[in-house]
Chain A
Amino acid sequence: MRAIGIILAGGNSKRLKELSKNRAVCAMPVAGSYRSIDFALSNMEHSRIQKVAVLAQYNSRSLNEHLASSKWWNFGRKQGGLFLFTPSFADADSNWYRGTADAIAQNISFLKTSHEPYVVIASGDCVYKMDYNKVLTWHVDKRADITVVVKDMPETFNVERYGTVRMDEEDRIQDFIEKPLAPEYNTISCGVYVIRRRLLIELLEKCAEENRYDFVQDILIRYRGLKKIYGYRLKEYWANIASVEDYYRTNMDFLRPEIRDYFFRQYPEVHSRAADLPPAKYNVGVNIRNSLLSSGCIVNGTVENSILFQQVYVGNNCVIRNSLILNDVYIGDNTIIENCIVESGGTIQSNSCYRGENGIQIVEEKGERYTI
């Protein structure tokens, strides 16, 4: 393979509110049986990238747990493998990762000891399928210094929390505005970059000398006139989950048949850690409409337009509508849940009612659970 991979998985997102309290954004459960990082990792695997570093910082325990074995993504190999790099302290002035560029710079030996000529950098909080080889080929054809994967978003899409770009006819990026207050362009960066390994080392070392730490600000924006930075347009589905609204919407997208078909049935498949859960079980009085349910669930009530993640128990006469119920939630009898995201591990007492009135309500209930 011609490239090594780096997955940026360090971020916390205040926009995910309580949901990111106990886990990294990249460890957020997605579409019933996946974690957010599974998409980037599976893309790496299907692009035949053999050596991948995951740079994690915020609440890395959740990611560590998920990535404890690399075999599920086919990275348990002698050639290459999966590496999880968290900030480590080697000398007196060691630091946390102060930014994306700093995170890579602190692990520059990973780049220096590799021999593959290119690096694919991806973020771990996006839901998409992509063959990075196509970008790489395009990158080589364009004789680009850096290629940024971009996507044209619909006019109605709020790009305020993304990086927006303006490209010329040659697809060279002319302007790059991070998190614009008054957005001028609707083309956004997908957080996937291809760059020659030696150039990346050079740029990172220069950044480190100048105490600059951010890949977007200090490399992409700062060098956009100096280096040939191109934008590769992604046509297929792509979504970022790093805010409550986007997280909810991305999950709900999986109720659409074309999205399910694209991710669940079409090649290549997305890998995840084996859960070893029994089949989902449906008892009497069950009423399920337009919903996704994962393995290990036991259902006795009504579920509509919702996604139940793994090992959810739904009691008798419950009504669950337009909601995401994350992993291992116990819902007691006669409970109504509408427009909510129920945090994983929760126990909802019988006869309770949760309704998201203005938007999506996040439900966190750590009640006692009695099992028979």
Chain B
Amino acid sequence: MITAAIDTIGFPDLCSRAGFDMKERVCGLWFVVTYTRAGRAGAYGDERKVYMIIKKEMIAMLLAGGQGSRLGILTSDVAKPAVSFGGKYRIIDFPLSNCINSGIDTVGVLTQYMPLRLNAHVGIGIPWDLDKNVGGVTVLSPYEKIQNTEWYTGTANAIYQNIEYMESFHPDYVLILSGDHIYKMDYEAMLESHKENGAEVTIAVMPVSLEEATRFGIMITDEDGRITDFEEKPAHPRSTLASMGIYIFNWETLKEALLANRDEAGLDFGKHVIPYCREKGAPLYAYEFNGYWKDVGTLTSYWEANMELIDIVPEFNLYEEYWKIYTKSTSITPQFFGPESVIERTIAGEGTEIYGKVYSSVIGCDVTVGAGSVIRNSIIMNGAVIGEGCVLDKVICAENSVIGDGAVLGEGEEVPNDTRPDIYCEGLVTIGENTEIPAGVRIGKNVMISGRTTPEDYPGGQLASGRTLEKEVKA
């Protein structure tokens, strides 16, 4: 492939001259036409040469480096975007599937915190059809430089450090996404709106209630949707349009803003880049989104979002044919239900074997629920084994954990958690991954347990509500 410097001809113009309809070439190779001045000035035809360059109209940059500390033990070993969701998915599947469903085939995934699981999951992008000759998915981690080697210090700083990656695709627009929301969204429609408005920056917003508005970045717009002002987590919101953390930038605008603010500590989109663009007078527009969108940043919102999937006709419907959510499946085998099993209001992933009773829960792949066990209102992730005769209520059980026979989790009165009452609350019992819980123990509410625990860790076979029990996994 020959990469040529691009002439300053506009791309639609260029495409029509090269004989390509631009719409057909939104994602893929573009062609650059150069002309040699052999005859009259401006004459072309005989001397026309067509070279190929790599050109994508819009590429996506997916911020997946954050820890997501408010998910507590669930993100102690994996980045938040790699946390399981909805039985068989991981959170990052949603933005990645949105990308390919919106016709965006070039996605840079920025990782930093605990990237192994995420890297293994994303791989070369096969499940999302993002294994492409040109473009596709690229995992971008911080790297060493001759000068000024640093981690990604902020959302915009991470993007700044990958200017070269973006530049290599000659994009017109760059879509900035974060890897911690559950939603289905057509980014192409957002791009249409961006173009129609003649915007340089478009921010996706969604209407929230006035109380919720105090938790978000709020956009104040005029009647045309142009953003006139914004405020971060305002005590008295002037609008109810909350930023979803999804931005479309004109590439030139983004690049200029990043370079101008490169020395800012912890360069952030909300704090620095967007205000900078507004001060410069760049047209900022809001794109209102009215579908399902859920921030799963806290354990309670994570649990709620999972529970919403089991409604008879859920607001967030995974069963639609036309906007599929793709994931890397670890298992493809069917589920088995034993002779005594009961299941109600539950979704369950592949390879799961259920011999007990499961009500109102979200069950991952390759889970075993032993005979006589009763599980209610719980999230059981991939590979977990629940023994026989267990009782689980409001439990989040992370991957590959083992709960011994006859254990009771989530009983008794609620007591605030002794270490992180802000995280482990609302009666949830949270079990970290690869955790072992011995048989027969009784565990209260607002409890967090991780690591290989033994009967000695449970005096009198009990762990009272509000307690935290953390042990080495590799004991």
Contacts and interface: CB of A to CB of B under 8 A. Distances in A.
A272 B88 CA distance: 17
A292 B336 contact: yes
Contacts of A206: none
Contact of A290 (B325, B329, B338): B338
Contact of B87 (A255, A279, A289, A290): A279
A279 B348 contact: yes
Contact of B319 (A34, A271, A293, A296): A296
A254 B337 CA distance: 12
A34 B329 CA distance: 14
Contacts of A307: 334
Given A274-B332, A288-B337, A290-B339, 7 more contacts: A281-B319, A282-B347, A283-B312, A284-B345, A291-B337, A293-B334, A293-B335
Interface string B73-88: 0000000000000111
Given A278-B319, A295-B350, A283 B337 contact: no
Contacts of A309: 334
A292 B334 CA distance: 6
Contact of A274 (B127, B310, B312, B363): B127
A276 B324 contact: yes
Interface of B: 86-88, 126-127, 310, 312, 318-319, 324-327, 329, 332-351, 353, 362-363
Most chain B CB neighbours (cut-off 10 Å) among A254, A282, A289: A282
Interface in A18-40: 31-34
Contact of B126 (A32, A71, A288): A71
Given A274-B329, A282-B348, A31 B341 contact: no
B376 to A, nearest CB: 14
Contacts of B326: 276
8 contacts: A32-B333, A33-B333, A260-B336, A260-B353, A279-B318, A281-B347, A293-B337, A294-B335
Contacts of B350: 33, 279, 294-295
B332 A280 contact: no
A289 B88 CA distance: 23
A286 interface: yes
Nearest to A281: B347
Nearest to A31: B334
A32 B318 contact: no
Nearest to B310: A281
A320 to B, nearest CB: 12
Contacts of A264: 333, 351
Given A288-B343, A295-B349, A280 B335 contact: yes
Interface in A244-267: 254-255, 260, 263-264
A298 interface: yes
Contact of B339 (A260, A283, A289): A289
A281 B339 CA distance: 19
A33 B347 contact: no
A276 B310 CA distance: 19
Most chain A CB neighbours (cut-off 10 Å) among B88, B310, B344, B350: B350
Interface string A294-334: 11101000010001110000000000000000000000000
Nearest to A311: B319
Contacts of A282: 343-348
A33 B319 contact: no
A275 interface: yes
A286 B343 contact: yes
B335 A289 contact: no
Closest 6 A/B residue pairs (Cβ): A32-B334, A278-B318, A279-B87, A264-B333, A288-B337, A292-B334
Nearest to A275: B332
Contacts of B342: 287
A283 B343 CA distance: 8
Given A290-B337, A295-B350, A283 B345 contact: yes
A264 B334 CA distance: 9
A279 B349 contact: yes
A189 B454 CA distance: 53
Most chain B CB neighbours (cut-off 10 Å) among A71, A285, A295, A309: A295
Most chain A CB neighbours (cut-off 10 Å) among B127, B319, B349: B319
Contact of A279 (B88, B312, B324, B333): B88
Contacts of A295: 88, 334, 349-350
A284 B341 CA distance: 14
A278 B350 CA distance: 9
Contacts of B363: 279
Nearest to B326: A276
A292 B319 contact: no
Most chain A CB neighbours (cut-off 10 Å) among B86, B127, B312, B332: B332
A296 to B, nearest CB: 7
B42 to A, nearest CB: 47
B356 to A, nearest CB: 12
A243 B367 CA distance: 34
